[in-house]
Amino acid sequence: QDLSLPNGTPVDTSSPASSSSLLNRLQLDDDLDAETRDLFVTVDDPKKHVCTMETYITYRVTTKTTRAEFDLPEYSVRRRYQDFDWLRNKLEESQPTHLIPPLPEKFVVKGVVDRFSEEFVETRRKALDKFLKRITDHPVLSFNEHFNVFLTAKDLNAYKKQGMALLSKMGESVKYVTGGYKLRSRPLEFAAIGEYLDTFSLKLGTIDRIAQRIIKEQLEYLVELREYGPVYSTWGGLEVELSEPLEGVSACIGNCCTALEELSEDMTEDFLPVLREYILYSESMKNVLKKRDQVQAEYEAKLEAVALKKEERPKVPTDVEKCQDRVECFNADLKADMERWQNNKRQDFRQLLMGMADKNIQYYEKCLTAWESVIPLLQDKPETK
């Protein structure tokens, strides 16, 4: 049957050339700049360690590089979650004007009981891998000394105990005061960023909650389907003449169960983690925005203090000029990171939604194939007289 839209446009009902054809076109774009990169980092091979006091997972972090800052072209070290957390804290300390990518939540993801389960460990591995790749792709963070140590040091604990004292000049010079200064008002462009982040995180939170409800309902439906299918098989054992089509329906429902289970797993393992990462990402950006506001408030307070002094001064005091430089540095870094974040977000969500469409197409195609296989069994059955 020919299908067409209300305006008469024909509808292409053919399936994609391959199950991942939609994603293949996107992945080609991702590989275009691979030749220009000089630092590659991957996280893989999770291993469980059982000690007297604790049980934990470590991951292999492999680095390949041609940068002069590294003594060797390749490194392989093992790191646990708290090491990644240490790295992020050090990046926040030493690069306060930049957006630091978020880590996956430390505690067990909602709905996952065992943090040592294969599913949870794999989900975390993917998130940690993405965390390091975000840093690797950043033109400033990737050259941070703490990041270099994280990738290369065999014994990271030794550096943790020393404190390292490798803070950059920016990290040493920028001191934030939690109280005492109050910002009059954000510049319009940064106020717009703040409003956007509030709306963005709110919308993502809503999508996350609805997606979790959908997954829960799918799993409940899956339980019913698994009970539903065998009934037809049992029935077929009592009806000799109907046994073949009834067994066919039972097998069909079994295939639909498998397809639905795969769809739910894809949403849990691929869709939800991206939503959560960007919710955390927006919170990280809000924190950088607050730091920028603090520096601007400090600058405004210093300007007011100078204006209140009656004596003539040939020039603005040095500390005021330094504070102004910090504000300008913050503004430039924040805008650059916001633009980079927006570009990554567009690419990630494009791939996420295309992947979701692709997985749903596969699910419905499998269900359609399963039900179509039953039709000949019903049609070819001779009528009894």
- Residue pair 359/263 in contact (Cβ under 8 Å)? The answer is yes
Instruction: Assess whether 370 and 247 both reside in one domain.
Output: yes
Predicted pLDDT at 164: 47
- Give me the CATH number covering residue 50: 3.30.1520.10
Q: How many C-alpha atoms does 274 have within 13 Å on its Cβ side?
A: 19
Q: Is there a single domain that holds both residue 256 and residue 288?
A: yes
- Band of residue 306 on the pLDDT scale cut at 50, 70, 90: confident
> Is position 215 within any domain?
yes
pLDDT at residue 385 greater than cutoff 70: no
| Residue 117: pLDDT band with limits 50, 70, 90 | confident
Q: What is the residue-averaged pLDDT of the chain?
A: 83
pLDDT score of 34: 55
Domain count within the chain:
2
Q: Decide if pLDDT at 381 tops 80.
A: no
Q: Do 53 and 132 share a structural domain?
A: yes
Same domain, yes or no: 44 and 79: yes
d(CA 191, CA 311): 36
Asked if residue 284 and residue 150 are part of one domain, the reply reads no
pLDDT digits (tens, 9 = 90+) for 163-212: 644 444 444 444 444 445 677 778 899 999 999 999 999 999 999 999 99
Q: What is the pLDDT of residues 256-295, one digit of tens each?
A: 999 999 999 999 988 999 999 999 999 999 999 999 999 9
Question: Is 207 found in the same domain as 152?
Answer: no
Residue 25 in domain: no
- Please determine, for residue 119, whether its predicted confidence score (pLDDT) is greater than 90: no
Tokens of 264: 């739910």
Largest CA distance in the chain: 116
Residue 14 inside a domain? The answer is no
Of the three residues 157, 192, 213, the one that is the final residue of a domain is 157
Same domain, 352 and 238: yes
Task: Verify that 187 and 113 share a domain, yes or no.
Answer: no
pLDDT at residue 384 is higher than 90: no
Q: Classify residue 301: in a domain, yes or no.
A: yes
Q: Domain end: 122, 157, 192, which one?
A: 157
Structure tokens at 291: 């730091």
Q: Do 213 and 310 share a domain, yes or no?
A: yes
Residue 378's pLDDT band (boundaries 50, 70, 90)? confident
Q: Judge whether residue 149 has pLDDT over 90.
A: yes
Please give the average per-residue pLDDT across 8-24, as a whole number: 45
Reported as a pLDDT band with limits 50, 70 and 90, residue 308 is confident
120-128 contact pairs (CB < 8 A, 24+): 121/46, 121/57, 122/46, 122/269, 123/269, 123/273, 124/57, 124/81, 125/43, 125/44, 125/46, 125/59, 126/273, 127/103, 127/273, 127/277, 128/43, 128/59, 128/81, 128/84, 128/103, 128/104
Position 255 confidence tier, pLDDT thresholds 50, 70, 90: very high
Residues 217 and 366 grouped into a single domain? yes
Residue 21 inside a domain? The answer is: no
Question: Which CATH number characterizes residue 269's domain?
Answer: 1.20.1270.60
Of 123, 157, 191, the residue at which a domain comes to its end is 157
Q: Average pLDDT in the 370-383 region?
A: 80
Q: Which domain holds residue 375?
A: 181-384
pLDDT digits (tens, 9 = 90+) for 54-97: 888 999 999 999 999 999 999 999 999 999 999 999 999 999 99
Residue type, position 177, single letter: V
> Do 363 and 273 share a structural domain?
yes
- Lowest mean pLDDT, pick from 45-54, 121-130, 174-183, 299-308: 174-183
Tell me the mean pLDDT in the region 141-166. Answer: 84
Residue 132 counted as domain residue: yes
Q: What is the pLDDT of residue 318?
A: 78
- Other beta carbons within 10 angstroms of residue 121's beta carbon come to 17
As separate numbers, helices (DSSP H) first and strands (DSSP E) second, the chain gives: 11, 3
- Per-residue model confidence (pLDDT) at position 50: 87
Is residue 13 included in any domain, yes or no? no
pLDDT tens-digit profile of 17-55? Answer: 444 444 454 444 444 455 578 899 999 999 998 888 888
Same domain, 129 and 254: no
- The pLDDT assigned to 14 comes to 42
Residue 171 maps to a domain: no
